[in-house]
C-alpha cells in the first residue's frame, strides 16, 4: 500500500512539473492582455454576419459514435476471453443488446438519417 501511495505521489509530481514550467516560460505579456491578438481575423475583413447555428443532428451523431466506439473498445477484449456461456458473457450480451436497441431507437427517431439540403 505504501508503494502504491508513493507511486501515485511521484506520478502526480512528475505531471505537475511540466505544467508549472510551461506556465512559467510561456512568455505572458508584461503590459497586459492584447485584445487585438485574441479577436477573430478573416483576411483583414470584419465579420459581416454571425456564424451559423450548431447542428444538433451532428451533435447526436457524434455522441452515438463515442458511445459505440467506447463500447467496442471495452467489449472486444471481453469477447476474446469468453469460450462458453457464463454470467459475465450474459451481461456483456445484454449490454450489447441494450446498445443495439438504443441505436434502433435513434434510427427510428431520425437522428441518424443524414439529408442533403438542396438549394
2-109 — its CATH code? 1.20.58
Domain boundaries, the chain: 2-109
pLDDT number for residue 84: 63
pLDDT number for residue 16: 92
The whole model's pTM is what? 0.45
Averaged pLDDT score across all residues of the chain:
76
Q: Kindly calculate the radius of gyration of the chain based on its CA atoms and give it in whole angstroms.
A: 25
pLDDT tens-place string over residues 28-64: 656 666 676 666 665 656 666 666 677 777 888 888 8
pLDDT number for residue 83: 62
pLDDT number for residue 116: 62
pLDDT number for residue 113: 73
Could you tell me what percent of the chain has a pLDDT over 90? 10
Question: Which of the pair, 6 or 110, is modelled with greater confidence?
Answer: 6
Question: Residues 99, 74: contact at Cβ < 8 Å?
Answer: no
Would the pLDDT of 5 be above 80? yes
Q: Pick from 112, 118, 117: which is nearest to 57 by CA? A: 112
Would the pLDDT of 119 be above 50? no
The dihedral over CA atoms of 67, 71, 72, 74, expressed in degrees to the nearest 10, equals: 140
Amino acid at each position: 500500500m505504501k508503494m502504491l501511495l508513493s507511486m501515485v505521489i511521484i506520478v502526480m509530481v512528475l505531471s505537475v512539473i511540466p505544467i508549472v514550467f510551461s506556465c512559467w516560460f510561456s512568455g505572458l505579456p508584461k503590459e497586459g492582455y492584447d485584445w487585438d491578438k485574441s479577436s477573430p481575423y478573416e483576411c483583414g475583413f470584419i465579420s459581416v454576419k454571425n456564424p451559423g447555428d450548431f447542428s444538433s443532428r451532428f451533435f447526436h451523431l457524434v455522441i452515438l459514435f463515442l458511445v459505440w466506439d467506447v463500447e467496442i473498445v471495452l467489449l472486444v477484449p471481453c469477447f476474446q476471453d469468453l469460450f462458453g456461456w457464463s454470467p459475465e458473457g450474459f451481461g456483456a450480451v445484454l449490454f450489447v443488446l441494450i446498445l443495439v436497441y438504443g441505436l434502433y431507437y435513434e434510427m427510428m427517431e431520425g437522428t441518424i438519417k443524414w439529408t442533403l439540403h438542396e438549394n
